[in-house]
Chain A
Amino acid sequence: MPVDESQLDLLALDQALEELASFDPQQCRIVEAKFFGGLSIEETAEVIGVSPATVKREWALAKAWLFRELS
């Protein structure tokens, strides 16, 4: 079930992110930079100090995990 953007529960997302940070702080930073900071993949890579390919991969997994948590 896709989550409607307008109904995104920011509070729940915030909590889920805290959980994510507990076992994968880097993924949490990537989500923060990309989603809350509105940065692109390349910009995120620059900020976090990893390659864009890594950001892409990590983002995909983080997004999958968060999506599952929030669904």
Chain B
Amino acid sequence: MKPERWAQIKPIFHAAAERPADERAAFIRSECNGDESLAVEIESLLAAHDQAGSFIEAFPSDETTVAFEDLPIEPLIGQQIGPYKVIKMIGRGGMGEVYLAQDGRLGRKVALKLLPAQFTALGERVRRFEQEARSASSLNHPNIITVHDIGEIEGRRYLVTEYVEGKTLRQRMESAPQQRVELSEALEVATQVVTALAAAHEAGIVHRDIKPENIMLRPDGLVKVLDFGLAKLTEPAAPAIGTEASAIGRASTESGVVMGTPRYMSPEQARGQRVDARTDIWSLGVLLYEMASGRPPFEGTTADVLSMILHREPPSLLLYSSDMPAELERIVTKTLRKDREERYQVVKDLALDLKSLKQRMEFEAELERSTPPEERSAARRGVASGGRAAARAGAVTDEGAAARAGAVTDEGAAQTGGARERHTPSSAEYIAGEIRRHKQGVGLTAAVVLALIVAAGAFLFSHRAPALTEKDTILVADFVNTTGDAVFDGTLKQGLAVQLAQSPFLNIFPETRVRQTLRLMNRAPEERVTKDVAREICQRQGVKAYLAGSISSLGSNYVITLEGINAQSGEEMAREQVEATSKEGVLKALSQAATRLREGLGESLQSIQKFDTPLEVTTSSLEALKAFSLGREQELAGKFLESIPFFQRAVEIDPNFAAAWLWLSIQYSNTNQPELAAQYVEKAFALRDRVSEYEKLRISMFYYDNVTGEVDKAIETQELFKRSYPRDHSGPGNLSHLNPQIGQFEKAVAEAQEAIHINPSVFAYHTNLMEAFIRLNRFAEAEEVCAQAMGQKLDGTNFHAGLYEIAFVRGDAAAMQQQLDWAKGRPDEYAAVDWQTETAAFAGHYRRSQDFSRRAVDAAVHGNAKEVAAQYTAEAALRSAAFGQCQQAKAPVAQALALERSKASLTRGALALALCGEAGQAQSIIDELTKRYPKDTLINSLWLPTIRAAVETNRNNPAGAIQLLETAKRYEGVGEFWPQTLRGHAYLRVRAGAEARSEFQKILDHRGYATISALYPLAHLGLARAAAMTGDAATARTAYQNFLALWKDADPDLPVLQEAKREYETVK
């Protein structure tokens, strides 16, 4: 059975079952709409329903369990143990034997583990183990093996778990070439293990014995973690107060329990200290290391391994392979910190890092595969914003090359601190008796060796502290140019900024904040940042250091000097001087100097090697870079239109200057010219291999967002960017722009808050935050955001749009008027007219809303915002359709499309036509959308299914409509209530009252999704009808009253109003 088919069957079956038997056949035929096999299927199920009687109404009485007498340790093959028939042995070890067995009751295969006899004597501890095994199993996690049964047979405890066919990770590694699994596979396995651990840790359960033998890989790729809680059995009952000698003594008398290798043991386990979730993180690190390199990080005799665990760093992973990602090395190193306080504190953080590394590798692989889409370039038109939210958005602010943020605090650390894992209170003291047992032969010599190793380690690992740390921020001052050649003015600073931006280590103080600080210092924002000014800015803003550069002539040569200076002490931290033999060589020389300076400032060589695209690859032309820096200057002053000619000049001089194409595109986007924006970002995308990782990610994100409309991919790319450059405000900032597009408002809130925390000077982050709060019905918080931003002199139309919505929800007419007054006389005043259009429609003032709409369209046309005008016109058509005024819906659709065939006008127009039964015309727009936007997330997953559902509804196929709308579910937070409304109507048609009710209730519960939508009052009416259908007259009455109250002054001749009044009479 296909889920889609089942979804068709269900509503009709339910509705038919509620009808008298003699009416069912006819009902089913009419609902199935000619689908004969569907009708037969439903009839067959109804027949089964009538015959089923008491089938599975009660569980059969308990089977008598087979008694068993003496139970030899082995061989058990063929024996019956309780309900389990033993088939074969699949393993044995220190923890007992494992058999494959058949569960006679359910006929399924299980794994039966018999614990060694001596465990039974442990009493209390066995009970605790059982508790833990059960609770881990009860997590019901796909990556944790399910425990079916725990019991005792003839003095031996047993454990029955699901039987997993496949290999252990140990077997997998042994069969791999050089014992090394592919990196992608290693990450996949580690990610799944981490997911299991996250669930277990969340529930307070620590595994304690993560190793390749405890990890099963199924042939289908699913990973299962075995033996949760088992390691606890070996914990001593007494607290850890023994001396070394007594531990050894005790160990020698407890020789029954033999642990395997200590390779995966954490330092705290080796020391016999209390164990917590961070022990599992360590062991996972060992596992990752071993999978990636083919060698365990600590090798040798047991004593060697133990001392290495305690005191030695493993060889760098980068030694094993040239293409080992530096990020993996960083992750593994962080899991293998001796001091657990320095490790990942919660497994979730590790999971995030693994996930983003995985995504990044996949992403890079894909980038390599895909070809530049030049052939698709100019053919595509109107690749614009997908509707109201996007029409307002414009979060594409950017600090560009110099945009590395000055983090006031370390974001990552702050979050981790808040989300510490719960420590298991039951976690017992752990003495590594079984480990020390292995040390017997080595005796005290081991202690001496240990001491020597410690001393050597201390010597090897002590080195001077780096000049900067990852928490510091650095400011780039203006260059001093004594050559007399103006081409270097501003250009070299820009070049240096581009060059340094790609470093994940350096955090460059954003240019927007430099300008804001200059204003606070009562200086002009565009004033030159000399050394003195730089130092003052640093001191005011807590910036650690500044970079000062200079260029001078020496004969026909040029000398470039770069200095890193501590802003507090004025001391020089690093200095580089290079010479170029010609003007053409200056950029290359600057690039080399910048790279060396990074090293001098404390960045690791690995990081520099990985993120080092030379400047001359970005652009080889000094003139192009000069034009680019002039463009950036205009842009930073908010002069978007004025900046365009400079960027155009830059790409004219150097058509391979990808960053300049991107900036050109961003300016078109900022000035509401999305088609041009899309066209130019395609140029940048085609050149993305020429730019640094930093620029490549930015270009790719912008491309997916604006050209293909693949919002999911844009988010993925942006998340990758954020992981690589965690202190860059545009990481979370752009995520706060992308997430609301697909209805992820909670995420948008978190990202916007993070972005504002890093850089409070960006207007768009505040509006993104405010809008996300509104969508979540958190109106007071939205208002608060607005008030705070305005307190910082940030203001714009988006704030007032939000304030209008909030005032409207509260019924505060005075506050609404304030926003309208604010908008008066502004170039985008048409937006405020549109608020009034919606307000009128909400109250059922259909004709007045038509008037406002016409005015808004006129104003938008005059304001040269054709795309906006097209959207308003299409929305007017859609409102007419919603009010059943189809005779006034068709002409506006044509007008809208004549203005601009944009995403917004095409989708709204097609929906209006579909609702009015114009299936043919709607279909031709559907075809256009499918052809023009084959990958667009919202078009394909939200709008097309919704339009098609409207077509099906009009064809009297409500079941088909419901099925189509399944796809839209994920994104219906941004569907302006259409998916919910159409689904509600379809359910009403099939007389599934309860389902219909829940759809209309969803609209009423999520008013913030579209605060002023006319579908909101109509949802009260839908709810009333649905409640009446289920016989809930009281609810129906209230809902009719609510609707009629909202529409008390509505145009009296609207048919929907008259029908509602008639219906209300019948339930009154």
Q: Which residues of B contact A71 (CB under 8 A)?
A: 48, 51
B17 CB within 8 Å of chain A: yes
Given the known A-B contacts A53-B994, A68-B44, are A35 and B1 also in contact in the complex, defined by CB atoms under 8 Å?
no
| A2 touches which of B6, B45, B55 (Cβ 8 Å) | B55
Chain B window 41-73, contacts with chain A (Cβ cutoff 8 Å), 1 for yes, 0 for no: 000111011011111111110000000000000
Stretch at the interface among B102-110, B422-430, B786-794, B1007-1015: B102-110
**Can you spell out 22 A-B residue pairs with CB atoms less than 8 angstroms apart?**
A2-B53, A5-B54, A8-B56, A10-B105, A11-B107, A23-B1, A31-B56, A35-B56, A36-B59, A51-B994, A57-B17, A60-B49, A61-B10, A61-B13, A63-B49, A63-B52, A63-B55, A64-B52, A66-B56, A68-B44, A68-B45, A71-B48
Are the CB atoms of B994 and A11 closer together than 8 Å? no
> In angstroms, how far is the closest chain B Cβ from the Cβ of A41?
11
B14 interfacial contact with A, CB 8 Å: yes
CA distance A35 to B52 in the complex (A): 14
Within 8 Å CB of A54, what residues of B? 994
CB nearest to B49 among chain A residues: A64
Pairwise interchain contact B106-A14, C-beta atoms closer than 8 A:
yes
7 smallest A-B Cβ distances: which pairs? Answer: A11-B107, A64-B49, A68-B48, A67-B52, A64-B48, A23-B3, A23-B1
Give chain B residues whose Cβ lies under 8 Å from the Cβ of A66: 55-56
Residues of A within 8 A of B (CB): 1-3, 5-6, 8, 10-11, 13-14, 19, 22-24, 31, 35-36, 38, 51, 53-54, 57, 60-61, 63-68, 70-71
- A23-B3, A54-B994, A68-B48 known; A14 and B56 CB under 8 Å? no
- For B56, the chain A residues whose CB sits under 8 A away are 8, 13, 31, 35, 63, 66-67
Partner of A67, one of B48, B107, B108, B994: B48
C-alpha gap A57/B14 in the complex (Å): 7
User: With A and B bound together, what is the CA distance between A13 and B106 in angstroms?
Assistant: 9
Question: How many residues on B have C-beta within 8 angstroms of the other chain's C-beta atoms?
Answer: 29
- From B5, B17, B59, name the one whose CB has the most chain A CB atoms within 10 angstroms: B59
Q: A8-B60, A14-B107, A54-B994 are in contact. Are A65 and B55 (CB under 8 A)?
A: no
Question: Complex Cα distance A63/B46, Å?
Answer: 10
How many whole Å from B541's CB to the nearest CB in chain A? 50
Question: A36: shortest Cβ distance to chain B, in Å?
Answer: 7
Residues of B within 8 A of A57 (CB): 14, 17
Given contacts A23-B6, A57-B14, contact A64 B46 (CB under 8 A): yes
Instruction: Say how far A16's CB is from chain B's closest CB, in angstroms.
Output: 10
Complex alpha-carbon distance, A10 and B61, angstroms = 12
| Chain B residues within an 8 Å CB radius of A60 | 17, 49
Complex-state Cα separation, A54 to B13, whole angstroms: 13
Within 8 Å of chain A (Cβ to Cβ): is B2?
yes
A-B contacts besides A60-B49, A68-B45, 14 pairs, CB < 8 Å: A1-B51, A5-B54, A10-B105, A13-B56, A23-B1, A23-B3, A24-B3, A24-B6, A31-B56, A35-B56, A51-B994, A61-B45, A64-B48, A68-B44
Complex CA gap A2/B57 in Å reads 13
Cβ contacts under 8 Å, B17 to chain A: 57, 60-61
Q: Which residue of B lies closest to A5 (CB)?
A: B60
Checking A1, A11, A65 against B45 with a beta-carbon cut-off of 8 angstroms, the contacting residue is A65
A3 proximity list for chain B (CB < 8 A): 55
Contact residues in B for A53 (Cβ distance below 8 Å): 994
Residues of B within 8 A of A10 (CB): 60, 105-107
Q: Give chain B nearest CB distance to A32 CB in angstroms.
A: 11
Nearest CB of chain A from residue B1002's CB, rounded to whole Å: 15
Q: Beyond A10-B105, A23-B2, A53-B994, is A61–B55 a contact (Cβ under 8 Å)?
A: no
Closest A residue to B50 by CB, please name it: A64
Query: B48: which of A11, A13, A23, A65 is its contact (CB, 8 Å)?
Result: A65
Cα(A8)–Cα(B106), bound, Å? 11
CB-CB nearest in chain B for A20: B1
> Chain B contacts of A23 at CB under 8 A?
1-3, 5-6
Q: Which residues of A contact B53 (CB under 8 A)?
A: 2
Min Cβ gap A59→B in Å is: 9
* List of A residues within 8 angstroms of B106 by Cβ: 10-11, 14
How far apart are the CA atoms of A16 and B804 in the complex, in Å? 56
Q: Which residue of A lies closest to B45 (CB)?
A: A64
What is the distance, in angstroms, from A62's C-beta to the closest C-beta of chain B?
9
| Min CB gap A6→B, angstroms | 6
Contact with A along B960-1002 (1 / 0, CB 8 A): 0000000000000000000000000000000000100000000
The interface residues of chain A lying within 8 Å CB-to-CB of B14 are 57, 61
A residues near B55, Cβ cutoff 8 Å: 2-3, 5, 63, 66-67, 70
- Within the complex, the shortest CB–CB distance from A69 to chain B, in Å, comes to 9
Query: Whose C-beta in chain A lies nearest to the C-beta of B10?
Result: A61
B59 touches A14 (CB 8 A): no
State A11–B10 Cα separation when bound (angstroms). Answer: 26
CB distance from B15 to the nearest CB of A (A): 10
Give bound CA distance, A67 to B14, whole Å.
17
In chain B, what residue has the closest Cβ to A31? B56
Report whether A61 and B49 are in contact in the complex, using a CB–CB cutoff of 8 Å. Answer: yes
Q: How distant is B614 from chain A, measured CB to nearest CB, in Å?
A: 54
CB of B52 to closest CB in A, whole Å? 4
Given contacts A60-B49, A64-B48, contact A38 B59 (CB under 8 A): yes
Q: How far is the CA of A10 from the CA of B104 in the complex (A)?
A: 10
Taking the closest CB of chain A, its distance from the CB of B308, in whole angstroms, is: 47
Residues of chain A within 8 A (CB-CB) of B13 are: 61
Give bound CA distance, A35 to B59, whole Å: 6
Q: A8-B56, A36-B59, A38-B59 are in contact. Are A2 and B107 (CB under 8 A)?
A: no
Contact, CB under 8 Å: B58 / A5: yes
- Nearest-neighbour CB distance to chain A for B776, whole angstroms, equals 22
Residue-wise, chain B 10-41 has the 8 Å CB interface mask toward A (1 for contact) of: 10011001000000000000000000000000
Task: Name the B residues within 8 Å of A67 (CB-CB).
Answer: 48-49, 51-52, 55-56
Complex CA gap A59/B58 in Å reads 13
- Nearest chain A CB to B61's CB is how many angstroms away? 8
Q: How far is the CA of A50 from the CA of B515 in the complex (A)?
A: 56
Chain A positions within 8 Å of B58 at CB level? 5, 38
- Please determine whether B60 and A6 come into contact, CB atoms closer than 8 angstroms: yes
Which of A14, A60, A64, A65 has the most C-beta atoms of chain B within 10 angstroms of its own C-beta? A64
Taking the nearest CB of chain A, how far is it from the CB of B46, in angstroms? 7
Closest A residue, CB atoms, query B106: A14
Chain A residues contacting B105 (CB-CB under 8 Å) are: 10
The residue in chain A whose Cβ has the minimal distance to the Cβ of B5 is: A23
A51 to chain B, nearest CB (A): 8
8 Å CB contact of B108 from A14, A65, A70: A14
Question: How far is B53's CA from A64's CA once the two chains are assembled, in angstroms?
Answer: 10
Q: Which of B1, B48, B60 has the most CB of A within 10 A?
A: B48
Closest B residue by C-beta to A68: B48
Instruction: Find the A residue at minimum CB distance from B18.
Output: A57
Question: Which of A11, A19, A36, A61 has the most chain B CB atoms closer than 10 A to its own CB?
Answer: A61
Alpha-carbon gap, A68 to B52, bound state (A) = 8
| Inter-chain contacts of B48 with A (CB < 8 A) | 64-65, 67-68, 71
Q: A22 vs B6: C-alpha distance in the bound complex, in angstroms?
A: 11
Residue from B1, B5, B52, B106 having most chain A Cβ neighbours under 10 A? B52
For A14, the chain B residues whose CB sits under 8 A away are 106-108
- Cβ–Cβ < 8 Å partners of B52 in chain A: 2, 63-64, 67
| Residue of B6, B10, B56, B107 most packed against chain A (CB within 10 A) | B56
| CA–CA, A10 and B994, complex, Å | 34
Report how far A3 CA is from B48 CA in the complex, Å.
11
A8, B56: Cα distance in complex, Å: 8
Which residues of chain A are near B49, meaning CB under 8 Å? 60-61, 63-64, 67
Which of B13, B55, B105, B994 has the most chain A CB within a 10 Å cutoff?
B55
B85 to chain A, nearest CB (A): 14
Which of A8, A11, A51, A67 has the most chain B CB atoms inside 10 A of its CB? A67
Complex Cα–Cα for A70 and B48 (A): 11
